Amino acid sequence: MLVTVMAIVVAACTGGSVEDDAQTTTTVATTQATVTTTAAPATTAADLEPIKLGSVNSLTGQIVFPEASAAAKAVFDRVNREGGIDGRPIEYLIEDDAADPAGAAQAARRLVEDEGVVAMVGSASLLECAVNGAYYAEQGVYSIQGTGVDPLCFASSNISPVNTGPYLGYTVSLYFASEVLAKENVCALIFDIPDFRPAMDAAIQQWRDLTGKELAFSNFTLQFTDDVTPFVLQARDAGCEVVVSNGLDVHYIGFMQALQAQGIDDMAWVGLTSGYTAEVAETLGSMGAGSGILHVNSEFEPFTLDSPVLEDWRNLMTEAGVPLTSFAEGGYLAATIMVDVLEGIDGPITRESVSEALLALEGYEHPMIGSPYSFGDAPAHNPNRASKFLRLSGGTWELATDDWVVLPTG
């Protein structure tokens, strides 16, 4: 699984688990004449039983995702500073699965059975959805995933990611290529990832169903260590006007460098969110424009832009020392949704009441996402059906679409 996921996600900075700061209270005594009375202590969030939320993340290993849970913690820390949820503090418990199936299973059981969390929120792991999806369903625990990675994050009754993900994201990217860029010969270059092939096949089929179109050329045989030049030449010989590919940021750099080396300047390229990094922009400079323009998919409001929509997120992340990345956007959104869910519960906040509220959650709107978020009672969840696209120009990312590209539901 470690190897297969590398074609979909980008390695982030490593980080460890995070614990809440201890909170203390004091009792004040007052004396009047000869009668001594002890005043009742002021009620604070620390006096009340905390609301426990959990998160399972890949924080150590070859590929790590520390930003999502760190961003969620920043949201919950602010809520606690402002008095908690009806006076109850949020205790956010972050577990590291070390990208290991046994570690992911053990982490979930510690949180669910030993700690008694009411829900999971902000998780970002290479494999925890595949490991724990059925377990969450058995235990009646629901998860607002901060970053959905493996296919089962989007095929579970008890997990609903806030991000578009690499599969529906591929459908959106194909749709952008054919319907927004209006290219006739749309082609696909996809890395050979057996565990993910069914999800990618479904993503392409969804594009076919929505547009009635077919790929002009496709190749699913790329390996991580391949020289990409032969594949670029195959796409050229097939008459591809635009190629939609997956991969890590280094692969997009390789594709664009191969286009330049071969003198191909009339083939556009569309990549997933994994290509939306400062490193790609800095390395390629203006090359992305000279080779037919490199476009990338942003699952949320693009984090490199000075958008007023991102003001609260940017300020909070900067204050908390969390890197400004798409992963941090996902963690912030997951936590923000959870806070609104908790504040909307009338009565005791328990695992049962939180689960009931999530099952009733439909049409939640936030300006950082282009389609309403929902949980609801469904066998699978992939509510984020929108992306904004950026293009590389002069070594910087600029908007290619002012509006969200939203997949039709039909």
pLDDT one-digit tens code per residue, 187-244: 999 998 878 899 999 999 999 999 999 999 999 999 988 999 999 999 999 999 999 9
Query: Over 50: is that where the pLDDT of 350 sits?
Result: yes
142-167 confidence digits (pLDDT tens): 999 999 999 999 999 999 999 999 99
The Cα 333–Cα 169 span in angstroms is: 18
Q: How far apart are CA 139 and CA 187, in angstroms?
A: 43
Dist CA 312 CA 27 (whole Å): 36
How confident is the model at residue 224, as a pLDDT? 85
- For 175-189, what is each residue's pLDDT tens digit? 999 999 999 999 999
Query: Does the structure show a pLDDT above 50 at 12?
Result: no
Amino acid at position 7, single letter:
A
**Is 364 strand, coil or helix?**
strand
What percentage of the chain carries pLDDT values higher than 90? 79
- CA 297 to chain centroid, in Å, comes to 13
Tell whether the model's pLDDT for residue 84 goes beyond 90: yes
**Of all helices (H) and strands (E), which one includes residue 228?**
none
What's the pLDDT band for 295 if we cut at 50, 70, 90?
Answer: very high
**Per-residue pLDDT at 289:** 64
pLDDT band at 291 (very low <50, low <70, confident <90, very high): low
**pLDDT of 26 above 60:** no
The mean pLDDT of the chain is 88
On the question of a common fold for 2-22+40-164+307-379 and 166-298+387-406, the answer reads: yes
Cα first-last separation, the chain: 33
> Residue 21 pLDDT > 90, yes or no?
no
Q: Which pLDDT score is estimated for 14? A: 33
Q: What is the pLDDT of residue 40?
A: 40
Q: What is the pLDDT of residues 358-394, one digit of tens each?
A: 999 999 999 999 999 999 999 999 999 999 999 998 8
What is the reported pLDDT for 410? 62
Which tops the pLDDT comparison, 263 or 17?
263
pTM (two decimals): 0.85
Pairing of strands 90-96, 143-144: unpaired
Structure confidence at residue 292 (pLDDT): 67
Residues 6+ apart with CB under 8 A from 90: 50, 51, 53, 76, 79, 80, 84, 342
| Average pLDDT rounded to a whole number, residues 120-141 | 97
* Gyration radius from the chain CA atoms: 23
- Parallel, antiparallel or unpaired: strands 386-393 and 294-298: antiparallel
CATH architecture of 2-22+40-164+307-379: 3-Layer(aba) Sandwich (3.40)
Q: What is the pLDDT of residue 198?
A: 92
Return the structure tokens found at 344: 């909307």
Who has greater pLDDT, 27 or 373? 373
Domain boundaries, the chain: 2-22+40-164+307-379, 166-298+387-406
Q: Which two tokens stand for residue 248?
A: 């890590």
**What confidence score (pLDDT) does residue 18 get?**
35
Reported confidence tier of residue 290, pLDDT bands at 50, 70, 90: low
Closest to 290 in 3D by CA, of 269, 316, 320, 311: 269
Q: Per-residue pLDDT for 61 more than 90?
A: no
Lowest-pLDDT choice from 7-11, 35-39, 210-214, 218-222: 35-39
Check: CB of residue 240 under 8 Å from CB of residue 216: yes
- 1 pLDDT higher than 80: no
pLDDT at res. 195: 81
- Binning pLDDT at 50, 70 and 90, where does residue 174 land? very high
**In the structure, what pLDDT confidence band is assigned to residue 31 with cuts at 50, 70 and 90?**
very low
Q: Which fold has domain 166-298+387-406?
A: Rossmann fold (3.40.50)
